[in-house]
Structure 1
């Protein structure tokens, strides 16, 4: 198993990446929310409203936990894709990796 050499990051690259990373995170959250809504409609076809929230007493705990599990997985995957893609784009534009 070979590992790639670690890329160096300058302090200025980290600072310049912050606004880009923040914007990407907001857009990623919106996208993840839309994806979750569509997935939830398929998981629970009889649902007419939004997925259940923890404080809604009319839903059983199992349904709330399934919704939270799916939502968390989707948000984590979308966040990883957005962050990684944003970092790669930043590196192509500036020649520096913004992480670490």
Structure 2
């Protein structure tokens, strides 16, 4: 059981990094589909209107949450299968 944990930790880190990249790309694509030419750099940018900054933050948060949940769920399902095949439990 410990050997599985040693393998699962790095795999989880890699899946998390890949999920973060995927979420960032999904957010940028969605933002452009909504008709915005570029992503808002940060909330302290005085040029961007409040509405745009807050909408971008909400959309980005939702996108990252959905992608993280999907990656975590996929890791848990595949991890359980791998653990059962290795340990029989």
| TM-score using structure 2 length | 0.82
Name the counterpart of 2:67. Answer: 78
After TM superposition, list the pairs within 5 Å mapping 1:79-98 onto structure 2: 79-95=68-84
The alignment covers a number of residue pairs equal to: 85
User: Aligned equivalents of 1:28 and 1:65: distance in 2?
Assistant: 23
Q: Which moved more, 1:12-21 or 1:65-74?
A: 12-21
Task: List runs of 5+ in structure 2 lacking aligned partners.
Answer: none
User: Aligned equivalents of 2:50 and 2:63: distance in 1?
Assistant: 20
TM-fit CA distance, 1:15: 4.0
User: In proportion to residue count, which structure has more helix?
Assistant: 2
For the 8 Å contact 2:32–2:38, the answer to whether it is kept is no
TM-fit CA distance, 1:85: 0.1
Name the counterpart of 2:15. Answer: 24
Measured on the aligned residues, the alpha-carbon RMSD in Å equals: 1.8
| Residues 22-71 of structure 1 deviation map (CA, whole Å, 9 limit, x = unaligned) | 1000000000011101110122x1x3222342121101112101000000
Q: Cα gap change, 1:11/1:61 in structure 2, threshold over 3 Å: closer, same or farther?
A: farther
